[in-house]
Structure 1
């Protein structure tokens, strides 16, 4: 295996494996290359960045001269990836994991939230275990970290314990490579070769903190087993229906947990930056942050599947940032809660398959988007509903956020899709302002504040009347924003959020219009780029979250068979490891955009559970 340099083909986005220890993440190509890994956490600068430039660092373990695996899978119920290769001499298996270790009180450091009984800490170790199943195979290890998004080459040194351990320093990090292989250096490349025979096991561990890496194959296997059991025990806490789609729900739950930054409970939108929404295009964004709008759906998904600890951790994160914002809530934050996410481009990187620019940071954090207030109030409502009590701290946040929504709802904004064109009176933004007032009124009743409950209820009705007056076209279909006839998939949230009942004629006509007119091969677009000033001229793929919203909406309006058919089709588009990027090219099935995408997996859980529950309700109806 040589350096995946310029000219070598990029793996399809959907073919990457996803690793996580709930502090950092990594993407593994089918070749066995770690092509994306940021340290010390998921939104830090990359150490292995060949996903965005073939000369920005990589870490490969696998058979010499063989790059296409025979099979890949996750160890069931885990985030441990198993890759199997056939070689002319035998069968080789590589197991990859970001290790998890038991949590101890003295290790709390930045952990300020409560921990679940089965929670483990990140061990800050990437472990790769190599096993020969039969015959024999030549194994090659190549590790070339390039710090700071490919701008600072590593310089390796042996640590003094023979040729089995090496250290490289850069950008404030110290990487330690530990193996039972003899490690040599070729410039900034740490490399090793060996012949492995049937029944033999080798290991290599990359660590970046004071946590001790494994020292022997036996210890490596023990630590790997510990990590396997951690993930399986975590998944056992969930509630999953006995249904053929159960595996998709479980993989989505594991992916959401993997995108969670454990020290704060924040859920990142994706593990990557700048994977293109259009092949070779410029719709390339940094999604390694947490969006407030994701909060209501994330809480619903976690609560529905029985992961109350994760839901509560994310809830405490968003209420902490809401309280700190003092009524001026941003649309997104860093996973550590930081507010400034200044956007810049990395012009030295060629981008995934030539898609430029490569961006870090996200300038949309400064945008005015009116969905944030409804999202935060909707999240508080879900949290309080499970407890039927409302403390002074939460009430203070509610009052500020509802009043902010009522102050601004008449103004135009950038909408939930963060368009970089002119502000508009987006229907979805009005919908979320309605949600803030509507749920705020219900929470005021729980609080016993009758005056606010009535005032906010009246405001919710005023917003609803304004939307019904200005956002419905002559066909009785909800449109993207006031003054247009363009469709937008975000209005599928109208029945899902309870703005109108599912049997309302306008709701039904809107769902059918989107299904018939805003789709490509049944998959849903956000909007037609020819109808929307989003600041770009390029096209984009279908948005998978919107397709799953259509499934949920079809269930709500009683079109169960159509919903089930679409859901089956969407599940067939999952990656070989049951992961999803942000978009799908309807013609080729190619995944587009950042990967894996939390919002897509959240919508999958919502849609799949909607179909399953509707089927169960039908079975419970006695037949005459």
Structure 2
């Protein structure tokens, strides 16, 4: 059985990532990209579906682990009766081949160790042919893939595994180097583990040194860890940002809501860009803007809510029947059928991100405005249609209030870009549409008897996405309708200080009634609204709660099950980390949040983007 989700740590090289359990088992790795087939898939099955474990042979009395400061280099220390040994895990930032380095360091005594390597290509379904080269390299080959293992430790084959036993004395350093290359090429070159790890540390710290974390930002180390995690989820060759490095980690333990998140959602990527820009990383903003222009190039009628890492349009969803799923949560899915959904909120997310890039001084790109105008022209035709919404409901489309709010954001930001840059566009028509959409939302999306906005037009359900209304400037945070919505969410969607997206146990069209965890990004949005309302103590308490949920190395999944007291959903999740960063940056502003929340009383431009946390 795999470890608990929160017992994993992330290592990555800017193009893919691996999950390493606190037991020393590397249980998930897709090569050569985040969305490639896994060669270690024990996370979704058993050790026979692929893993690489290095650990003490004797019982572990005490275990501690940490990331080396400012890096994605993981250090796990095991204490046994025989002594203390450390396992250092690292993926050097990519320079051709894909490498995984595991360095065993003796700290005290003499500790007997074991290694168990089971390579299984194509998500655990294919056992490779393993043979030894003249230089001692062990080569595992299957179809287009090959993995080469180099180590001074004698290894042997046993039941389609490669195993070893060895002792580690104080001050000894024993390297294990696994390198992936296409099978038609020679294996990747040898690597000095200690030198490569030191180089990788310098590169991560150099990137983090560019972060602008102002004095007064609470939990600055957790913010830095979240930013490193967001950077680790960025596919370096293209600038695309993956929502998570995993697939099918369940939203409900033992349930069926198991989705593949190894793709670039326009929404998630745009919000991630806000977090990175807010911390001063303009290079990522420019790379993402260029990724966006390539991804959505073509007819605006074909804009999708999600794309592949390089902008691929097709993300067909299939089921892998040979994998039993994480703790039996089946089916295991690869690909994501949500790619063909209509989610009109993404138009607003994209325009908001482009406006943020404009406000922080990225040089204008003529093709960006041409793309934006074409996109807005298409939005004029479809904004009145029902859609699947931010939560990708797999049922009957609805007029989701959050979707309509983000349509308002799209027209608002398009107008602002045009007005501030002197760009051409049908500005009067956009102003009229912005005012019309505002009025429609406030009329059809508001329940006057309960004094709150609802999930969709004409229905009573609540939805935590409504918390974004003041965050995107649709209404001031102290507007009585916003206050009423916050109170309704506090009463109807909160568990143990955390926020549910909606009430899935009530049942939604096309989806069976179920229970899911609280949604960590939504919890961060509530904290931001508290801050805008001047409720700083409550906002700080929300941030403290999120930080307390993070695991021992500062990582967050998508959700938290308040009954099982466990993290659930794909891990680590960009949405959760960017929510935490946004809340911390907002709390770090010196300006009184209650003043910011009152800016912009004109109902056609209420709030506006300057109600955000210094990103615009």
Q: Shorter-chain-normalised TM-score: which range?
A: over 0.9
Tell me whether 387-396 or 247-256 shows the greater mean CA deviation.
387-396
Quick one: which of 375, 379, 386 aligns to 2:360? Answer: 386
Q: Determine the structure 2 residue equivalent to 1:565.
A: 541
Measure how far apart 1:617 and its partner are.
Answer: 7.3
Q: Distance in 1 between matches of 2:331 and 2:524?
A: 30
Check conservation: 1:437, 1:460, Cα contact below 8 A. Answer: yes
Quick one: which of 142, 146, 165 aligns to 1:193? Answer: 165
Normalised by the length of structure 2, the TM-score is 0.92
Equivalent residue of 1:446, what SS?
A: helix
Residue 87, structure 1, aligned to residue 80, structure 2: yes
Check conservation: 1:71, 1:83, Cα contact below 8 A. Answer: yes
RMSD over equivalenced CA pairs, Å: 1.9
Return closer, same or farther for 1:200/1:450 CA change in 2, 3 Å cut-off.
Answer: closer
Equivalent residue of 1:208, what SS?
A: strand
Q: Distance in 2 between matches of 1:268 and 1:10?
A: 23
Q: Distance in 2 between matches of 1:367 and 1:71?
A: 44
Measure how far apart 1:24 and its partner are.
Answer: 1.2
Residue 551, structure 1, aligned to residue 558, structure 2: no
Return closer, same or farther for 1:451/1:207 CA change in 2, 3 Å cut-off.
Answer: closer
Q: Distance in 2 between matches of 1:125 and 1:439?
A: 43
Measure how far apart 1:444 and its partner are.
Answer: 2.1
Q: Determine the structure 2 residue equivalent to 1:166.
A: 138
Check conservation: 1:582, 1:593, Cα contact below 8 A. Answer: yes
Check conservation: 1:503, 1:557, Cα contact below 8 A. Answer: yes
Q: What are the equivalent positions in structure 2 for 1:461-500 lying under 5 Å apart?
A: 461-474=435-448, 475-500=450-475
Q: Distance in 2 between matches of 1:504 and 1:558?
A: 13
Q: Determine the structure 2 residue equivalent to 1:238.
A: 211
Normalised by the length of structure 1, the TM-score is 0.91
Measure how far apart 1:67 and its partner are.
Answer: 5.9
Residue 516, structure 1, aligned to residue 491, structure 2: yes
Residue 257, structure 1, aligned to residue 231, structure 2: yes
Quick one: which of 4, 17, 26 aligns to 1:12? Answer: 4
Equivalent residue of 1:272, what SS?
A: coil
Q: Distance in 2 between matches of 1:531 and 1:355?
A: 19
Q: Determine the structure 1 residue equivalent to 2:243.
A: 269
1:254-292 deviation digits (Å, cap 9, x = unpaired): 100111110111110001000010010000000000100
Q: Distance in 1 between matches of 2:96 and 2:438?
A: 47
Residue 62, structure 1, aligned to residue 62, structure 2: no
Tell me whether 26-35 or 68-77 shows the greater mean CA deviation.
68-77
Quick one: which of 352, 365, 374 aligns to 2:339? Answer: 365
Q: What are the equivalent positions in structure 2 for 1:538-617 lying under 5 Å apart?
A: 538-613=514-589
1:593-615 deviation digits (Å, cap 9, x = unpaired): 00000011111110111122257
Residue 204, structure 1, aligned to residue 197, structure 2: no
Q: Distance in 2 between matches of 1:123 and 1:388?
A: 33
Tell me whether 479-488 or 449-458 shows the greater mean CA deviation.
449-458
Residue 22, structure 1, aligned to residue 21, structure 2: no
1:318-361 deviation digits (Å, cap 9, x = unpaired): 12212235442100001121110000101111100000000000
Measure how far apart 1:503 and its partner are.
Answer: 2.1
Measure how far apart 1:450 and its partner are.
Answer: 6.4
Q: Determine the structure 1 residue equivalent to 2:602.
A: none
Q: Determine the structure 2 residue equivalent to 1:621.
A: none
Equivalent residue of 1:382, what SS?
A: helix
Q: Distance in 2 between matches of 1:376 and 1:285?
A: 23
Quick one: which of 161, 172, 177 aligns to 2:149? Answer: 177
Equivalent residue of 2:88, what SS?
A: strand
Measure how far apart 1:123 and its partner are.
Answer: 5.2
Check conservation: 1:58, 1:145, Cα contact below 8 A. Answer: yes
Measure how far apart 1:181 and its partner are.
Answer: 0.9
Check conservation: 1:91, 1:133, Cα contact below 8 A. Answer: yes
Tell me whether 554-563 or 182-191 shows the greater mean CA deviation.
182-191
Measure how far apart 1:507 and its partner are.
Answer: 1.0
Tell me whether 497-506 or 607-616 shows the greater mean CA deviation.
607-616
Measure how far apart 1:66 and its partner are.
Answer: 3.6
Q: Distance in 1 between matches of 2:281 and 2:524?
A: 21
Q: Distance in 1 between matches of 2:395 and 2:566?
A: 28
Measure how far apart 1:451 and its partner are.
Answer: 5.9
1:65-84 deviation digits (Å, cap 9, x = unpaired): 44675101111111011011
Quick one: which of 422, 426, 444 aligns to 1:452? Answer: 426
Check conservation: 1:580, 1:597, Cα contact below 8 A. Answer: yes
Measure how far apart 1:244 and its partner are.
Answer: 4.9
Q: Determine the structure 1 residue equivalent to 2:195.
A: 222
Tell me whether 368-377 or 344-353 shows the greater mean CA deviation.
368-377
Equivalent residue of 2:272, what SS?
A: helix
Measure how far apart 1:379 and its partner are.
Answer: 1.4
Return closer, same or farther for 1:327/1:399 CA change in 2, 3 Å cut-off.
Answer: farther
Return closer, same or farther for 1:258/1:436 CA change in 2, 3 Å cut-off.
Answer: same
Measure how far apart 1:299 and its partner are.
Answer: 1.8
Quick one: which of 380, 402, 416 aligns to 1:406? Answer: 380
Residue 300, structure 1, aligned to residue 274, structure 2: yes
Q: Distance in 2 between matches of 1:34 and 1:594?
A: 16
Equivalent residue of 1:95, what SS?
A: strand
Q: Determine the structure 2 residue equivalent to 1:108.
A: none
Q: Distance in 2 between matches of 1:305 and 1:185?
A: 49
Q: Distance in 1 between matches of 2:550 and 2:197?
A: 27
Residue 34, structure 1, aligned to residue 26, structure 2: yes
Equivalent residue of 1:293, what SS?
A: helix
Measure how far apart 1:187 and its partner are.
Answer: 4.0
Q: Distance in 2 between matches of 1:411 and 1:174?
A: 49
Measure how far apart 1:566 and its partner are.
Answer: 1.8
Q: Distance in 2 between matches of 1:191 and 1:602?
A: 40
Measure how far apart 1:454 and its partner are.
Answer: 1.9
Check conservation: 1:50, 1:57, Cα contact below 8 A. Answer: yes
Gaps in structure 1 of 5+ consecutive residues: 1-8, 102-120, 619-624
Measure how far apart 1:390 and its partner are.
Answer: 4.0
Q: Distance in 2 between matches of 1:229 and 1:449?
A: 43
Q: Determine the structure 2 residue equivalent to 1:525.
A: 500
Q: Determine the structure 2 residue equivalent to 1:117.
A: none
